[in-house]
């Protein structure tokens, strides 16, 4: 059992990666091999519409033909038993690096049939972990759910299942007093960090446990 997680934040030790690490700890607690891949360490682009993956009888049918740092990562996905994609929310959706990764991950397996089907050979658990500044209520009011629904659908169609975990009102800065950010109340942010973020971490851990086949947490 091999579980891969992808960090779509440039920050290696902040909210998104912390939750992904918890999810992988959960998977490892069930005996899974785990790996956290930091997308910002890699040089790659999004899909360039070469359509090699869609060319009938082509040597790259169902595979991404682009050659860059994602090439070996996408080869690892072929053998993965579960995938967790984590991203901060940037302007209402995932970071640019995560979006580019999703295109390269999903499109080669995605068939232009009606309805779309998948060339990925197995059904595996797959899911999203999002972190963001907005509160749960703002997330709903500002329509983030529409983006999350698209992303969930992509993973569900390609890998057979999908779910999302949202961590809201995250602690964004090391020291709020040094930042021009009057919108935020540092005390409330710290409270939330102390009280709610550990609960989000527990949910991420439970996701990892489930994805690795343990219990129904
Ligand atoms: C360029 C940029 C755009 C952002 N846009 C949003 C946004 O639209 N909505 C939101 O709730 N948070 C937004 N944020 C805040 C981050 O999503 C939030 O702080 C997140 O938890 C950061 O993840 P990290 O700690 O793993 O880097 C933005 C942050 C940056 C740097």
**Tens of pLDDT, residue by residue, the chain (217 residues):** 999 999 999 999 999 999 999 999 999 999 999 999 999 999 999 999 999 999 999 999 999 999 999 999 999 999 999 999 999 999 999 999 999 999 999 999 999 999 999 999 999 999 999 999 999 999 999 999 999 999 999 999 999 999 999 999 999 999 999 999 999 999 999 999 999 999 999 999 999 999 999 765 4
Atom index in ligand 1 nearest the CA of residue 14 equals 25
What pLDDT is attached to residue 214?
Answer: 77
Q: Ligand 1 test: best mutation among 90, 131, 145, 196, most atoms within 8 Å of CB?
A: 90
User: Distance (Å, rounded) from C-alpha 208 to C-alpha 82?
Assistant: 9
What pLDDT is attached to residue 217?
Answer: 44
Per DSSP, helices labelled H in 116-215 are: 136-141, 144-159, 186-195, 197-211
**From the CA of 212, how far away is ligand 1's center (Å)?**
29
User: Distance (Å, rounded) from C-alpha 94 to C-alpha 103?
Assistant: 12
**From the CA of 115, how far away is ligand 1's center (Å)?**
34
Q: Which long-range contacts (CB under 8 A, 24 or more apart) does 113-119 make?
A: 115/157, 116/157, 117/157, 118/157, 118/158, 118/159, 118/160, 119/62
Compute the C-alpha angle 123/81/105, nearest 5°.
Answer: 75
What pLDDT is attached to residue 160?
Answer: 98
Nearest Cα to 120, choosing from 204, 62, 41, 174?
62
Ligand 1 neighbours, Cβ below 6 Å, are 9, 11, 14-16, 88-92, 131-134, 170, 172
Contacts for 59 with CB less than 8 Å, ≥ 6 apart: none
How many CB atoms sit inside 10 A of residue 146's CB?
10
pTM of the predicted protein model: 0.97
**From the CA of 89, how far away is ligand 1's center (Å)?**
5
């Amino acid at each position: 059992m091999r579980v891969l997680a992808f960090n779509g934040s440039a920050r290696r030790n902040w909210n998104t990666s912390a939750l992904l690490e918890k999810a992988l700890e959960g998977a490892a607690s069930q005996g899974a091999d785990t790996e956290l891949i930091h997308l910002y360490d890699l040089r790659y682009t999004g899909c360039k519409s070469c359509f090699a993956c869609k060319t009938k009888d082509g040597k790259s049918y169902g595979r991404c033909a682009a050659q860059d740092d994602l090439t070996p990562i996408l080869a690892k996905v072929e053998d993965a038993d579960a995938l967790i994609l984590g991203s901060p929310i940037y302007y209402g959706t995932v970071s640019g690096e995560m979006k580019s990764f999703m295109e390269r991950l999903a499109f080669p397996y995605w068939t232009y049939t009606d309805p779309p089907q998948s060339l990925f050979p197995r059904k595996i658990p797959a899911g999203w972990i999002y972190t963001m500044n907005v509160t749960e209520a703002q997330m709903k009011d500002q329509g983030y759910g529409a983006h999350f629904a698209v992303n969930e659908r992509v993973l569900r169609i390609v890998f057979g299942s999908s779910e999302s975990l949202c961590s809201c009102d995250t602690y964004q800065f090391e020291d709020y007093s040094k930042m021009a950010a009057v919108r935020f109340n540092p005390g409330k942010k710290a409270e939330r960090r102390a009280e709610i973020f550990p609960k989000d971490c527990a949910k991420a851990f439970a996701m990892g446990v489930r994805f690795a086949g343990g219990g129904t947490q």
